[in-house]
Amino acid sequence: MMTIWESRLRVDNTDSLPALIRATLRVLERENGRPVDESAIGDWLDEIYAGEIAARWQQEFDHAAAEFEASCIRPLRAFQADRSLEELFYRAFDSIEVLPNDLYDEFIQCKEEEPIRAYELLVPISWGRYHALANEGRILPQERGEPCIVRAKYSSEVGLTFEEWMQM
């Protein structure tokens, strides 16, 4: 059973809210109190992302796609790596894969024996986190063709941890 937590705002009195939130509130108010039918969620999203919202989203997508093609795809040439293109790629997805330094030895061994598995040791972090770590001196100098190495511990249970990194 879905219950919408109501506030003073009503769907008919939301002129100051963005169109996406207004459309979402309309659907949620209509469905309030009913059991959630998971098979209907796709239809709800189609209803929410229709009309002006869909047109605005498509325009933003087209702009981003054109920018990506112009700056990343067109300049590509086989066997000519460009570090600035790699940076643009990571920015487009707000993510970069790094190698925790305590997995470096395993990475080097796997790279020789099982290259695909070696790259499974990389951990994604946000672009903002990467720059914060770089500003703290926690990103090690990178050899050409090697992943970014971060001074951090990693465990499969917790992920990357940044405490006590100076002791490494």
| 104 CB burial (10 A radius; 0-12, 13-18, 19+) | middle
Give the number of other CB atoms < 10 A from CB of residue 122.
Answer: 16
Q: What is the pLDDT of residue 76?
A: 67
Global model pTM greater than 0.85: no
- pLDDT score, position 70: 84
The pLDDT value given to residue 112: 86
Write out the chain's pLDDT in tens, 168 residues.
Answer: 555 555 545 555 556 678 889 999 999 999 998 888 889 999 999 999 999 999 998 999 999 999 888 887 777 665 455 666 666 666 667 788 899 998 999 998 998 888 888 889 999 888 888 888 889 999 988 777 788 899 988 888 888 887 654 444
Per-residue model confidence (pLDDT) at position 146: 82
Q: How many helices (H) and strands (E) does the chain have?
A: 7, 6
Amino acid symbol at 101? N
The secondary structure of 67-104, three-state, reads HHHHHHHCCCCCCCCCHHHHHHHHHHCCCEEEEEHHHH
What's the pLDDT score for residue 49? Answer: 92
To the nearest 10°, report the CA torsion of 49, 55, 68, 146: -10
- pLDDT, residue 167, reads 47
Give the per-residue pLDDT at 75.
73
What pLDDT score does 79 carry? 45
